[in-house]
Structure 1
Amino acid sequence: MKENVYLRCADVIYCTKSKARKYGSFIKINGMPQISFFYGIVILMNFADHAPAHFHAWYGDFKVIVSIKDGVVKGEMPGRALKMILEWLEIHREELLSNWVKAQNGMPLDKIEPLN
């Protein structure tokens, strides 16, 4: 059984490839797999999490929960970072919904391309 890796957001931002290999294909923060990373923003999704379908986004000390279907945001995030998160959501909504179903069934999650 793989151990959960508890890292601060800053640790993930500067995580090396060798460190990522050590813990498998996903870095986990508080038990949540990282499914994407762009411009210092870490995107996470929890297994067997509460409805509605959502993902977590961390940027430095800021954290938000974003509803996949309607983009409703709970939490605090700088405007520029939030704009990028919502743009990424629009591009990858179907992939996020697919990952949500997988997460609810305890299946491995797919990594999702970062915002370019």
Structure 2
Amino acid sequence: MPTIAIIEGVRITIYLKDHLPPHLHAIFSGQEAQISIATGLVLNGNLPRAKLKAVQAWLAANREQVSYIWREIRAGRNDGGMIE
């Protein structure tokens, strides 16, 4: 599970060969949320409200790059790397 960013202490990961729809995993202090890359909505799980808002803002600013990395990781052409 490549980590692609750390946002205010929240680790953002994309699992290899993960299921559709395209999403990321946001992990913080024992909590995890699956967040849609396309919409920023929580698909499953939860995070503290302030942490979720920070992740959603980061995702909105980086959506195109996150979508590209999600496709590349799923296709086995990329093993991650941090998005600044």
**How many angstroms does 1:39 deviate by?**
1.6
Structure with the greater relative contact order (CA < 8 A, sep ≥ 6): 1 or 2? 2
Separation in structure 1 between the aligned mates of residue 69 and residue 35 of structure 2, nearest angstrom: 14
2:4 to 31, 35, 57: 35
Match of 1:95 in 2: 65
| Other structure's SS at 1:52 match | coil
**How many angstroms does 1:107 deviate by?**
1.5
Matched, 1:112 2:83: yes
1:60-103 CA distance string (max 9 Å, x none): 11100000001120211111000001001100100110011101
Match of 1:67 in 2: 36
Runs of 4+ in 1 over 3 A off after TM superposition: none
Q: Percent identity?
A: 33
Q: Which runs of 5+ in 1 are unaligned?
A: 1-31
Whose Rg is larger?
Answer: 1
**How many angstroms does 1:38 deviate by?**
2.4
Separation in structure 2 between the aligned mates of residue 50 and residue 60 of structure 1, nearest angstrom: 24
Structure number having the greater strand percentage: 2
Q: Which runs of 5+ in 2 are unaligned?
A: none
Give the TM-score taking structure 1 as reference length: 0.67
